[in-house]
Amino acid sequence: KTIQDRHGPRKIPDGLMFGAATASYQIEGGWDADGKTENIWDYMTHKNPCVTDDCLNGDIANDSYNQYKRDVEMMRELGLDFYRFSLSWTRILPSSFPDKINEAGIQYYNNLIDEMLRYNIEPMITLYHWDLPQKLQEMGGWTNPHIVNWFADYARVVFEHFGDRVKYWITMNEPREICYQGYGDVTKAPKLNIKGFAEYLCAKNLLVAHANAYHIYNNEFKAKFGGVIGITVSAHWYEPETENDSEIADQTMQFEWGQYLHPIFSESGDFPVSMKEKIATKSAAQSFARSRLPEFTADEVALVKGSSDFLGLNHYTTYLVNNKTSDINSVPSYYDDLGGTRYQSEDWKAAASIWLKEVPSGFYNLLTRLRNLYNNPTIMITENGFSTRGGLEDDDRIDYYVSYLDAMLDAIDEGSNIAAYAAWSLMDNFEWMRGYTERFGLYEVDYKSPQRTRTPRKSAYVYKQIIRAREIDYHYKPQMTGMTID
Ligand code: GBH
């Protein structure tokens, strides 16, 4: 495939929905407004401000708690079909539990949803995008098996309040990042770093919690409201360095995203067999009494299997993989269990984020693999995007979006069932450990202005044009003035 060689406009099939995505902690601010309590990102950044690159946090962020009307205005300017955002658990349930529902929090989300619906923009809600109540963290967070009930209780409150108007639901954003980065490493809150154990406990509990929310929606709300509910994973494409590396590349994908997708989307359910075997063998050789990867009971396998109406996919980049065993991994650890080495080519076009290179063929390869592995599930692309250091003339971002959309259309032509595409992100926002140093927005945000003024970048004009014309082109030369609402 030489997708980048193609020139001239290319049609986008009817029915594919276009949107943009954000997440609560990254944009809302209002960290203690009107009864909201601390989540793990509030707690971590307050306790240790320079845990982020610029020593900044999400206390105010984009002030979307107050600026939501401007956010909806931007959606209208772009002509979005839908907007994906997440809910702050502690804004809705300050005690973490449903004993007390915070009316101000409910009101905020009602205002946002109603403002969107006024202009025919479909809300797509993520229940959990990383801002766990700090109190639950102190009780073990995702390693405590009771969280499967805590999450279910929260989900029911959310469906009760917003289910009448919201038809697209995502339970979790990126289990791998929650579990591996937060529990097996130090690159996300709560930075637990209990390698080779905590990330696996998290994975199991998170999948059961997800399935509980799915079944609550199906059993108690779906007949009335008729929406759909799924999970979003992040998935890179892993390209074998040579022919001899294809097995380790497959293994890597089974660990990285198969760990979460296989239990839900495969015929057999449960963690991937090869992953269970690898970790069990290592654990035995390391003299543990049992595998460090916890087992699902037969009931849990059945509960989780099939628990998604669609596969939510966040895709950004590609890695090369080879079989060289690296001795930098601690033992035990996830990467020691997995083996092999991952890296990116110097030849790939680089974004501002160290991990992000532009490899559109990887997107095509990934979509093709998912189609073949899981019997062509309905896929919603819930994130895809490119980072810069800021500035309105973002030609690199435009190039990224056009070439990734082109790759997606190749997969659709070959039968992939893709229902939606969301750009990450509607606007710049708090980029986790990177603070505000990396910018993913179609709109630039001025963090020096009290209103957090949002200004469309060149890519915003192009995205608007793509959505309006329903085609992509490699030759955009937009006028960067007079953003209008059509
Ligand atoms: C998404 O994750 C998140 O859902 C979103 O909140 C975030 O703003 C967006 O990406 C942009 O980053 O720092 O070298 O350890 C995307 C998948 C996988 C990307 C882990 C960052 C960390 C690499 N992420 N990766 S490193």
5 pLDDT above the threshold of 70: no
Ligand 1 centre to CA of 52 (Å) is 14
Binding site membership of 384 for ligand 1 (Cβ less than 6 Å) = no
The closest alpha carbon to 26, from 484, 383, 350, belongs to: 383
Q: Residue 410 is encoded by which pair of tokens?
A: 């190749």
Active site members: 174, 383
Confidence of residue 167 (pLDDT cuts 50, 70, 90): very high
> 119 in ligand 1 pocket by Cβ < 6 Å?
no
pLDDT higher than 80, residue 486: yes
Atom number of ligand 1 nearest to Cα 314: 16
Could you report the per-residue pLDDT of 421-475, keeping only the tens digit for each?
Answer: 999 999 999 999 999 999 999 999 999 999 999 999 999 999 999 999 999 998 9
Task: Summarize pLDDT for 6-35 with one digit per residue, the tens.
Answer: 668 999 999 999 999 999 999 999 999 999
Whole-number average pLDDT of the chain: 97
| pLDDT for residue 142 | 99
Is 438's C-beta closer than 6 angstroms to any atom of ligand 1? no
Ligand 1 centroid–CA 345 distance in Å is 19
Residue 91 has pLDDT above 60, yes or no: yes
> Per DSSP, which regions of 174-235 are E strands?
228-234
- Asked if residues 190 and 40 have their Cβ atoms less than 8 Å apart, the reply is yes
Distance between CA atoms of 143 and 479, rounded to whole angstroms?
51
Q: Is the pLDDT of residue 147 over 60?
A: yes
pLDDT recorded at residue 327: 78
Q: Residue of the nearest CA to atom 23 in ligand 1?
A: 355
- ipTM score assigned to the predicted complex: 0.94
Q: Quick one: pLDDT at residue 458?
A: 98
**Residue 1 confidence (pLDDT):** 42
147 three-state secondary structure: helix
Residue whose entry in the numeric block shows the structure tokens 């509960």: 303
End-to-end CA distance of the chain: give it in Å, rounded: 36
Q: How far, in Å, is the centroid of ligand 1 from the Cα of 381?
A: 15
pTM for the model? 0.98
Q: Which atom of ligand 1 is nearest to the CA of 387?
A: 11
CB distance 316 to ligand 1 below 6 Å: yes
Alpha-carbon separation of residue 464 from 3, 121, 221, 268, 410 (angstroms): 22, 14, 34, 42, 21
What is the Å distance from ligand 1's center to 162 Cα? 28
Ligand 1 touching residue 174 (CB < 6 A): yes
282-294, pLDDT tens digit by residue? 999 999 999 999 9
Write out pLDDT tens, residues 298-344: 999 999 999 999 999 999 999 999 999 877 889 999 999 999 999 99
**What is the arithmetic mean of pLDDT over 76-86?**
98
Check if 343 has its Cβ closer than 6 Å to any atom of ligand 1: no
Contacts for 53 with CB less than 8 Å, ≥ 6 apart: 433, 434, 435, 437
pLDDT of res. 328 = 84
* Residue 293 to residue 199: CA distance in whole angstroms: 9
Helix 64-78 with 458-469: angle, nearest 10 deg: 50
> What is the rounded distance in angstroms from the CA atom of residue 152 to the CA atom of residue 108?
22
- 237-295 per-position pLDDT tens digit: 999 999 999 999 999 999 999 999 999 999 999 999 999 999 999 999 999 999 999 99
Note the pLDDT of residue 6: 62
User: Which atom of ligand 1 has the smallest separation from the CA of 433?
Assistant: 13
Residue (of 374, 142, 355, 338) closest to 255 by Cα position: 338
Ligand 1 atom closest to 173 (CA): 4
Q: In this structure, which residue's CA is closest to atom 19 in ligand 1?
A: 355
- 177 C-beta closer than 6 A to ligand 1: yes
Q: Collapse the DSSP code of 457 into the 3-class scheme (helix H, G, I; strand E, B; otherwise coil) and give the result.
A: coil
Tokens standing for residue 481: 């003035």
- Position 90 pLDDT exceeds 90: yes
